[in-house]
Amino acid sequence: MLYRTNNPHGGDIYEEKIALDYSSNTNPFGTPQGVLAAMRSALPAVHHYPDPYCRKLVQAIAIFEEVPREYILCGNGAAELIYAYCGAIEAKRAVELAPTFSEYALGLERLGCQVDRYVLQQDKAFDLDAGFLDFLQERSPEAVFLCNPNNPSGRLTPPCVLEEILDFCGQQNIRLFLDECFLDLSDSGISMKGFLGEHPELFILKAFTKSYGMAGVRLGYCLCSDGELLEKMSKAAQPWNVSVLAQAAGVAALQEEQFLMKTKALIPAERRWLKGEMEALGFWVCPSEANYLLFHGKPGLDQALKEYGIAIRNCDNYHGLGSGWYRIAVRLHEQNEQLIAAVRQVCGKEKA
């Protein structure tokens, strides 16, 4: 748990009365009923220690991802795997984007690693551009951290660009950490897992948190063909880090194909509606391809919306952003209407 440390993320709904949480980007439909049923069925087994090898879960992931079992390591949420990876690679210098998810740098810097940031530009919709490879050539990092789609912009990096970066990393003996936790809820994202066999330097992070609405369960996994790296990461974690309930939930979630299809059908339409409404209120909104939107608006908007029982993500702690930057999840239409109505009230632009 956190102790005398600021929480750098969204999802903290426990101190104030929050009815609508737009600060965390989980599935708008919540948790699948099949997953909840699986956890209820697993309750009689909680007097046992969990399987330290996550055998059934690893087998289910291998089938779902179409990768060998030995490429898979499970963890207590994606965050645990990020920290285990940072500790295992022992990099002295790494590169990440700005803005991007904060835990990469937090995991690296606590071990004394220097983190160089390639700053993305608002006028380019925070897209990764051709200058990135020159930046890598100049900085000579031991590891590169990318998020696809990126958080908080929601922008996808084209597969051809990722392949170019991966080839460069392979040639230069650089590790490439690729966070695909939001990929399954993106419009047209394509995983790089097909390159794992020929690129042991490639490490892909996945989680059940967003796609299956399982943030409170804490379950993530990674894909990598470097067995020595996965073994080193495993030794850094406790042996029973994935609970009985989490393992049962994960196996059940991977059977929820229709649930994911329903979610992916909803997100683009609701995202377009939200973007149009926010732009009509005068906000600049990044053209996202994921289940969340980054926008720039009125400073203090997040605090004002709490008076309406709504939490949004204040992004002023992201490198490359600052005051007035926010991120909102894409949720069900009725909830999205409530959000927009509250934003109008805060901005003094109520509909007549």
Regions in the chain scoring below 50 on pLDDT = 352
Give how far Cα 115 sits from Cα of 36, 101, 107, 135, 140, Å. 40, 13, 10, 13, 12
Indicate the burial class of 62 (C-beta count within 10 angstroms; 0-12, 13-18, 19 or more). middle
pLDDT score of 79: 95
User: Is the separation of the CB atoms in 293 and 327 below 8 Å?
Assistant: yes
Beta-carbon contacts of 32 under 8 Å, excluding residues fewer than 6 positions away, are 212, 213, 252, 253, 256, 259
343 three-class SS: helix
Under 8 Å between Cβ of 30 and 333: no
186: its two tokens: 């993106």
**The residue to which tokens 């089938």 are assigned:** 63
CB-based burial label for 192 (10 Å; 0-12, 13-18, 19+): buried
pLDDT for residue 352 = 44
pLDDT of residue 334: 98
State pLDDT tens for residues 14-71: 778 899 999 999 999 999 999 999 999 999 999 999 999 999 999 999 999 999 999 9
Query: What pLDDT, on a 0 to 100 scale, did the predictor assign at position 349?
Result: 74
